[in-house]
């Protein structure tokens, strides 16, 4: 396209002055010519000269021809095809004839792009500078030839984030064409707060919402851990589509056992309800729970009808049961130590009266209560963590079956401690009881309770590192603390220690007899303190201006060790974070010897059980940090996995631990299959694009896109050329011709 | 004596001889069991620290008769500076008259004693508020536990239900119908009675009560014994009777 412009830069008054000068010159020339020629020829010659001067004056304006060469390019267009897992869902909720599977959403897109005499993708490639991507958790460029092989396998769809990325990478006059079901599960789920897109988006919706039927557990919030005996709550959000008028049960299970159920009455096509379930755990350790909705008729997606979660049940307090044969100072200071410890919940019974004691008032004037022996030993024993027999003889009160229960309690993981006195150990008749095999001492019925001694506690090699007797972290300071402990004046002599002796009675007459021993029986732990005067380590220490804290610590640490508090375990699996399928998980654990120092020589067996329940043996290696071991495991499925570890050293078991961890895809792509055309419409509106349904796509759709792009993306000027007339041949030739004609006429008329 | 009566007499003698060791053993059995409780009494300067020298044995006998505690029948006399003071977590102090102020060391010892688990029973043998022993004791306790004050123990205090459910307290005279105490944390390691409990416990060597109890007579004395037993058991079991498991039973009995 050519245009004429005046591009001179002389001021107007200069040109006007020049023009006036030219007029004066022409007038003078006319007057001069008229003297020699007739009016006609004079006028003709002046006219010729006028033309020449006019051309020259015209050139003062700087006339030029500007040529715009407009080359129309192919506009850029970016096509995004959603290949997330939700695109594998059926495109239509309508049932297919003869039970045939319906087309998936990705199949419908592929069909639209590839079918026909001239496929849509071919047309787009011809008319546009096309860039093609698959869209899921990221954008991946693909070629038109690979569209036929596309599969809906991406674990998530970050539509809103990736549209921003695509718009930023595209040239200004381009557009985006996206084929998607509108399900987005990136960090952004709505357009609120998002910056506007810089280029228009043509959104093509895939997947019909009419008739879409689904019930799902949209959201589940459960605590990671809970306390035994305390209720915890689980908050759920149930969402349904297309189930108006139905009554749907929701089941809350632990493993395969039903805990409770609720019923939901669906009163809308798009329905949502929040419910809260609760459970009070009784058993410690990790537990797997699930919440499930039965599959509803016509439901297309059933994988989102169930959600699993795990809760680690811990004890909030260590429950201790003490039985004391009589009121005693040992009981007072034992009670004081336990009551001051917020972790310990104490239930104690003190036998204030024996059957031989006589009473001088009616029973109702005494504060004595009947000892609930059946309740305690036949029903409630399992709810305690530790049982303490404090100078208590079973003879006067116990049926042997109660002691059998205590034995079973320890075997199943409970803790048992016996404190000495005139009613304990052999003196208490335990050599003939079922506790004989449980206690960490050997009883032969001949042991005795001795007084009038002065016994100092002496720490053994085992006692120096054992968590019960490790009162101070520094070994030397710990030993000094024990050396300063006040002497005892009474102790129970027993035949021998069976377990590990932590303290001996240091005195000539005591012959270093065991004073404090610990052991194991079945899954439980036991302790024997062969004196009823441990209270002296507290109160006499106060009298000596020493700290009573050592006695308090001894009691608390003994309780924790007996209750198998995790920090006192010799094998501990470190917490395992949430993982993804296909991602390697490093399972780390710590192993300590019996003296609670780390060991790199342990033999560790590690087992992982997946959602299918099949155990996998995982080999472990010792880390550079002594006592630490690692085993690598790669889960292949999502779900809950259980880990069990056992360690031994030189053939002797050190301990066990177990835990569980969850494996899940982070996006929850298949949780909600309902297409979201409303999101795609909003994206199109806010970006000044257009929205289409893939079922309504036809030839006009393509033209509409083209027209919109044309109006928003004008032709580009590729080249602009400017030519001054003064530099061209023809105006110059014209001036020469005029001058030539004038010369010829002058010559003809004899002026030259 | 005829043959029948002679045989009867010999038979009784043989039976008595056969039983005598056993009866002796039964009486001595508790004496041979290890001592769990010793009644320790504080000696101080000035005043009269020992107004009732024979008060303890009757109380100990009663304690052993009624409860499972094995106690020494004789008291132990201790001073504040005795090296083995802390071997006796229960201390008793009584008197009638003003006494010399405790030294600073004695104050420190008593403070540690009651702050770290010991129990102190204060028994005013004169019963005159603001005078004599009462005046001196209150003065000294202010030095032992500065800022603390004696407060009336509520009727539901654990010390009043540690063995007997006490609705009254006894003593030689009823100066107060209540006990006072100083609390440290959740317990009451200092208890004060102005009714002369020791005077009510005391029995002379012939077994006769030394002091009449007025106005309640022997019932009032019995309350004094019950209170003594309760305070000893409270010292040895602390707030045991405040544990939840006891509450419904006690409540039920008290409302009858």
Mean pLDDT over A213-240 rounds to 90
Confidence of residue B144 (pLDDT cuts 50, 70, 90): very high
Q: What are A501-542's pLDDT values in tens digits?
A: 999 998 656 678 999 999 999 989 999 999 999 999 999 999
The band of B24, judged by pLDDT with boundaries at 50, 70 and 90, is very low
Reply yes or no on whether the pLDDT at B256 is more than 70: no
The stretch A425-451 carries a mean pLDDT of 92
CA dist B157 and B155 (Å) reads 6
Whether the per-residue pLDDT at B215 is higher than 80: the answer is yes
User: How does the average pLDDT of chain A come out, rounded?
Assistant: 88
Report which secondary-structure segment, H or E, holds A594. none
Rounded to whole angstroms, the Cα distance separating B241 from A348 reads 10
pLDDT of A665 reads 67
pLDDT of B31 higher than 70: no
Q: For residue A339, is pLDDT > 80?
A: yes
- pLDDT (tens digit per residue) in A147-168: 999 999 888 889 999 999 999 9
Pairing status of strand A129-135 against strand A76-82: parallel
pLDDT digits (tens, 9 = 90+) for A250-272: 999 998 899 999 999 999 998 99
C-beta atoms of A542 and B112 within 8 A: yes
Residue from the list A327, A347, A490 with its beta carbon closest to the beta carbon of B233? A327
Q: Pick B33's closest partner by Cβ from A335, A351, A422.
A: A422
Pinpoint the alpha helices (H) of A486-640.
536-543, 549-562
Check if the beta carbon of residue A255 is closer than 8 Å to that of residue A286.
no
The pLDDT value given to residue A740: 93
> What would the mean pLDDT of A73-77 be, rounded to a whole number?
81
Centre a 10 Å sphere on the Cβ of residue B178 and count the other Cβ atoms it contains: 16
- Distance separating alpha carbons of residues A750 and A6, to the nearest angstrom: 40
pLDDT at A98: 66
Contact A352 B233 (CB under 8 A): yes
Q: What is the pLDDT of residue A95?
A: 67
For residue A338, the distance in angstroms to the closest alpha carbon of chain B comes to 12
Q: How far apart are CA A305 and CA B61, in angstroms?
A: 75
Residue A70 has pLDDT above 80, yes or no: no
Look at the alpha carbons of A653, A654, A659, A665 in this order and tell me if their dihedral is positive or negative: negative
pLDDT at residue B19 in the model: 39
Q: Alpha-carbon distance A14 to B7, whole Å?
A: 176
- A543/B256 CB distance under 8 A: no
What's residue B6's pLDDT? 60
Residue B240 to residue A348, Cβ atoms within 8 A: yes
Backbone CA torsion sign across A599, A604, A610, A613: negative
**Tens digits of residue pLDDT in A100-138:** 667 899 999 999 999 888 888 998 888 888 999 999 989
Residue in A with minimal Cα distance to B237: A332
The CA distance from A419 to A165, in Å, is 73
- The pLDDT-based confidence of B15 (bands split at 50, 70, 90) is very low
**A435 pLDDT band (50/70/90 cuts)?**
very high
Q: How confident is the model at residue A288 (pLDDT cuts 50, 70, 90)?
A: confident
How far CA A713 is from CA of A132, A166, A443, A709, A710, in Å, comes to 20, 18, 99, 6, 5
The verdict on a CB contact (< 8 Å) between B36 and A326 is yes
Which pLDDT score, from 0 to 100, does residue B18 have? 40
pLDDT higher than 60, residue A713: no
- Name the band, by pLDDT with cuts 50, 70 and 90, for residue A7: confident
Position with higher pLDDT, A358 vs A714: A358
Of the pLDDT bands very low, low, confident and very high (cuts 50, 70, 90), residue A196 is: confident
> Does the structure show a pLDDT above 70 at A284?
yes
* pLDDT at residue A71 is higher than 70: no
* pLDDT greater than 90 at residue B164: yes
> In this prediction, what percent of chain A has a pLDDT beyond 70?
96
- Which tens digits make up the pLDDT trace of B87-121? 999 999 999 999 999 999 999 999 999 999 999 99
pLDDT at B20 over 50: no
Portion 11-40 of A in contact with B at CB < 8 A: none
pLDDT of residue B23: 36
- CA nearest to A437, candidates A524, A534, A564: A524
Query: Between residues A97 and A223, which one has the greater pLDDT?
Result: A223
Asked if B61 is an interface residue toward chain A (Cβ–Cβ < 8 A), one would say no
Model confidence band, residue A551 (pLDDT cutoffs 50, 70, 90): very high
> Could you tell me which chain B residue has the CA closest to the CA of A362?
B164
Given this model, what pLDDT does residue B27 score?
Answer: 39
The stretch A457-480 carries a mean pLDDT of: 90
Global pTM reads 0.65
Q: Given a cut of 80, is residue A215 above it in pLDDT?
A: yes
CB contact under 8 A, A366 and B165: yes
Between β-strands A175-180 and A201-205, what pairing exists: parallel, antiparallel or unpaired? parallel
Give me the pLDDT at residue B209, please. Answer: 96
Contacts of B36 in chain A (CB under 8 A): 326-329
């Amino acid at each position: 396209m050519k245009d004429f412009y005046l591009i001179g830069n002389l001021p107007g008054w200069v040109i006007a002055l020049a023009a006036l000068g030219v007029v004066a010159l022409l007038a003078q020339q006319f007057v001069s010519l008229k003297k020699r020629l007739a009016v006609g020829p004079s006028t003709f010659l002046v006219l010729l000269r006028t033309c020449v001067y006019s051309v020259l004056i015209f050139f003062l304006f700087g006339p030029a021809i500007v040529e715009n060469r407009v080359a129309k390019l192919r506009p850029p267009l970016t096509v995004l095809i959603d290949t997330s897992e939700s695109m594998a869902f059926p495109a239509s909720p309508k049932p297919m004839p003869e039970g045939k599977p319906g087309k998936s959403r990705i199949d419908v897109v592929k069909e639209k792009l590839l079918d026909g005499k001239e496929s849509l993708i071919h047309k787009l490639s011809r008319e546009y500078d096309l860039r093609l991507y698959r869209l899921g958790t990221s954008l991946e460029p693909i070629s038109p030839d690979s569209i036929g092989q596309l599969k809906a396998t991406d674990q998530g769809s970050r539509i809103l984030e990736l549209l921003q990325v695509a718009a930023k990478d595209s040239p200004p006059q381009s557009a985006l064409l996206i084929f998607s079901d509108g399900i987005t599960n990136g960090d952004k789920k709505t357009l609120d707060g998002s910056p506007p897109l810089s280029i228009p988006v043509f959104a093509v919706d895939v997947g019909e919402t009419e008739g879409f039927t689904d019930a799902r557990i949209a959201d589940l919030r459960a605590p990671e851990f809970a306390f035994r005996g305390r209720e915890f709550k689980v908050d759920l959000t149930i969402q349904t589509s297309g189930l108006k008028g139905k009554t749907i049960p929701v089941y809350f299970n632990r493993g395969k056992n039903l805990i409770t159920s609720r019923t939901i009455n669906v009163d809308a096509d798009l329905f949502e309800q929040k419910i809260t379930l609760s459970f009070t755990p009784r058993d410690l350790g990790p537990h797997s729970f699930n919440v499930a909705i039965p599959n509803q008729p016509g439901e297309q997606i059933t994988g989102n009808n169930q959600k699993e979660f795990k809760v680690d049940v811990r004890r909030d307090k260590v429950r201790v049961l003490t039985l004391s044969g009589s009121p005693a100072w040992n009981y007072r200071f034992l009670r004081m130590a336990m009551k001051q410890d917020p972790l310990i919940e104490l239930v104690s019974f003190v036998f204030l009266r024996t059957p031989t004691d006589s009473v001088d008032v009616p029973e109702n004037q005494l504060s004595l209560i009947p000892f609930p022996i059946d309740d305690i030993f036949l029903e409630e024993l399992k709810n305690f963590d530790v049982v303490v027999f404090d100078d208590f003889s079973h003879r006067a009160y116990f049926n042997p079956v109660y002691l059998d229960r205590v034995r079973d309690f320890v075997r199943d993981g409970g803790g048992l401690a016996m404190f000495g006195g005139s009613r304990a150990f052999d003196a208490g008749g335990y050599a003939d009881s079922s506790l004989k095999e449980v206690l960490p001492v050997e009883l032969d019925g001949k042991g005795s309770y001795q007084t009038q001694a002065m016994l100092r506690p002496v720490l053994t090699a085992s006692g120096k590192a054992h968590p019960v007797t490790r009162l101070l972290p520094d070994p030397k300071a710990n030993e000094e603390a024990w050396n300063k402990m006040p002497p005892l004046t009474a102790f129970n002599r027993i035949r021998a220690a069976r377990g590990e002796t932590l303290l001996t009675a240091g005195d000539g007459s005591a012959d270093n007899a065991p004073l404090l021993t610990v052991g194991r029986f079945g899954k439980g732990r036991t302790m024997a303190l062969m004196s009823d005067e441990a209270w002296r380590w507290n109160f006499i220490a106060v009298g000596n201006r020493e700290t009573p804290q050592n006695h308090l610590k001894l009691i608390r640490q003994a309780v924790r060790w007996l209750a198998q508090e995790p920090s006192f375990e010799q094998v501990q699996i470190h917490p395992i974070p949430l993982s993804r399928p296909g991602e390697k998980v490093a399972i780390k654990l710590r192993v300590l010897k019996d003296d609670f120092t780390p060991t790199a020589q342990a033999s560790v067996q590690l087992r992982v059980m997946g959602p299918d329940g099949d155990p996998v043996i995982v080999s472990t290696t010792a880390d550079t940090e002594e006592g630490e071991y690692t085993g690598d495991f790669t889960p292949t499925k999502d779900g809950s996995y259980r880990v069990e570890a056992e360690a031994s050293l030189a053939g002797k078991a050190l301990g066990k631990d177990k835990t569980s961890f969850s494996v899940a895809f982070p996006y929850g792509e298949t949780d909600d299959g309902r297409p979201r055309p409303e999101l795609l419409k909003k994206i199109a509106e806010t970006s000044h694009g257009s929205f289409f349904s893939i079922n309504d796509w036809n030839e006009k759709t393509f033209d509409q896109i083209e027209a919109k792009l044309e109006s928003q993306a004008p032709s580009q000027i590729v080249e602009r050329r400017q030519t001054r007339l003064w530099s061209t041949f023809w105006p110059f030739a014209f001036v020469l011709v005029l001058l030539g004609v004038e010369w010829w006429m002058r010559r003809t008329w004899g002026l030259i | 004596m005829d043959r029948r009566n002679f045989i009867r007499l010999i038979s009784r003698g043989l039976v008595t001889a056969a039983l005598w060791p056993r009866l002796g053993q039964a009486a001595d059995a508790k004496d041979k069991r290890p001592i769990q409780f010793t009644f320790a009494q504080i000696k101080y300067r000035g005043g009269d620290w020992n107004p009732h020298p024979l008060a303890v044995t009757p109380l100990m006998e009663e304690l052993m008769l009624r409860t499972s505690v094995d106690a020494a029948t004789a008291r132990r006399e201790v001073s504040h500076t005795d090296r083995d003071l802390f071997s006796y977590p229960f201390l008793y102090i009584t008197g009638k008259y003003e006494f010399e102020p405790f030294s600073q060391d004695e104050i420190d010892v008593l403070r540690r004693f009651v702050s770290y688990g010991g129990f102190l029973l204060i028994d005013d043998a004169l019963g005159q508020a603001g005078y004599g022993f009462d005046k001196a004791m209150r003065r000294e306790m202010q030095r032992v536990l500065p800022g603390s004050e004696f407060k009336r123990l509520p009727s539901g205090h654990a010390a009043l239900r540690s063995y007997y459910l006490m609705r009254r307290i006894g003593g030689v005279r009823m100066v107060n119908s209540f006990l006072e105490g100083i609390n440290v944390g959740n317990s009451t390691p200092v208890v004060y009675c102005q009714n002369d409990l020791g005077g009510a416990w005391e029995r002379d060597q012939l077994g006769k009560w030394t002091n009449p109890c007025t106005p309640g007579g022997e019932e009032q004395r019995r309350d004094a014994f019950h209170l003594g037993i309760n305070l000893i058991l409270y010292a040895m079991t602390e707030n045991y009777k405040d544990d939840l498991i006891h509450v419904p039973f006690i409540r039920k009995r008290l409302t009858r």
